[in-house]
């Protein structure tokens, strides 16, 4: 029953994430709550019965009720992905504070994956907001012992150690990816990495510690490189100017890392 409830909660959160994914990259100093949702084409208000996760999309045939324009497939994908991820987290961890932590991180990953893929933007509301949330969770849920614990375990209590691991993971992982991007950009003479990616990795380090952040970076880099090269060759794009949404690959890699972590 808890898994089913988590699935339903994930579907609802996924619906809210879709609002954030659409509005945050486009709006400045405006609410993600008001005004009510509208069709992105004809601007007709969307009734509550047309806003039920997955079901409304299926009943409407993926089209707006008023103008019959297609609704982007991203909407049901985000809702379904969030619902399944929440269900898996609760199935493995139960209804616990740890489950809440990883469910929140998964929701952030899904949102960042979509915003970077669609708009090439990683909103601060998710990256910096997630960084703060990760540090708060680190105070209550022990982070995996790593470098800081080996050095300072005699001097710090469990909560201070966990928070220190989160801060260390955020600082080292974000610094490493910034340095790699800076050096590569200097070598190529281009802007190789957006600062949003740096803030995203800092957020991952706060939630998962240095090991989790490094695993996310490595897996995301491999996936982005392989898929990017294949796409560039098939689509005959100019590799010197083609933008690879690295944040999207980091988000997908982060989801995989979280799932492997909760199964340990």
Q: Where are the domains of the chain?
A: 1-95, 96-264
Model confidence at 32: pLDDT above 90: no
Q: Environment class of residue 204 by beta-carbon count within 10 Å: exposed (0-12), middle (13-18) or buried (19+)?
A: buried
Q: What is the mean pLDDT of the segment spanning 68-95?
A: 95
d(CA 189, CA 259): 37
Least confident of 13-17, 62-66, 206-210, 228-232: 228-232
Nearest to 191 by CA among 241, 231, 225: 241
Task: Determine the pLDDT at residue 50.
Answer: 81
> What does the mean pLDDT of the chain come to?
86
Q: What is the mean pLDDT of the segment spanning 43-70?
A: 87
Least confident of 22-36, 109-123, 130-144, 227-241: 227-241
- Assess contact for 51 and 59: CB atoms under 8 A: no
Task: Determine the pLDDT at residue 153.
Answer: 65
Q: pTM surpassing 0.75?
A: yes
Helix (H, G, I), strand (E, B), or coil: what is residue 63?
strand
Per-residue DSSP letters for 178-202? Answer: HHHHHHHHHHHTS--S-HHHHHHHH
DSSP-assigned letter for residue 92? H
Q: Is the dihedral of CA 121, 224, 208, 154 positive or negative?
A: negative
SS3 readout for 3-59: HHHHHHHHHHHHHHHHHHHHHCCCCCCCCCCCCCCECCCCCCECCHHHCCCCHHHHH
**11-15, 61-65, 143-147, 260-264 — which one is most confidently predicted on average?**
11-15
Q: What percentage of the chain has pLDDT greater than the value 70? A: 85
Question: What is the tens place of the pLDDT at every residue in 172-226?
Answer: 999 988 887 777 666 655 565 668 889 999 999 999 999 999 999 999 989 887 8
Model confidence at 241: pLDDT above 90: no
């Amino acid at each position: 029953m808890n898994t089913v409830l988590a699935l339903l909660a994930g579907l609802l959160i996924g619906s809210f994430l879709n609002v954030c994914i659409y509005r945050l990259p486009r709006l400045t100093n405006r609410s993600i709550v008001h005004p009510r949702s509208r069709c992105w084409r004809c601007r007709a208000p969307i009734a509550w019965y047309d806003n039920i996760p997955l079901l409304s999309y299926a009943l409407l045939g993926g089209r707006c009720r008023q103008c019959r324009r297609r609704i982007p497939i991203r909407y049901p994908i985000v809702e379904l992905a969030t619902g399944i991820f929440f269900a898996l987290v609760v199935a493995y961890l139960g209804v616990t504070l740890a489950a809440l932590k990883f469910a929140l991180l998964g929701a952030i990953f899904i949102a960042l994956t979509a915003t970077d893929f669609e708009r090439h933007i990683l909103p601060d509301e998710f990256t910096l907001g997630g960084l703060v949330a990760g540090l708060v969770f680190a105070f209550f849920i022990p982070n995996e012992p790593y470098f800081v614990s080996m050095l300072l375990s005699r001097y710090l209590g469990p909560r201070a150690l966990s928070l220190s691991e989160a801060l260390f993971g955020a600082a080292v992982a974000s610094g490493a990816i910034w340095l790699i991007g800076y050096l590569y950009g200097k070598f190529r003479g281009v802007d190789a990495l957006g600062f949003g990616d740096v803030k995203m990795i800092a957020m991952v380090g706060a939630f998962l510690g240095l090991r989790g952040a490094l695993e996310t970076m490595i897996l995301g880099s491999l996936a982005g490189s392989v898929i990017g090269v294949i796409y560039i060759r098939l689509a005959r794009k100019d590799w010197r100017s083609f933008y690879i949404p690295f944040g999207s690959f980091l988000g997908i890699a982060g989801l995989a890392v979280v799932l492997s972590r909760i199964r340990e």
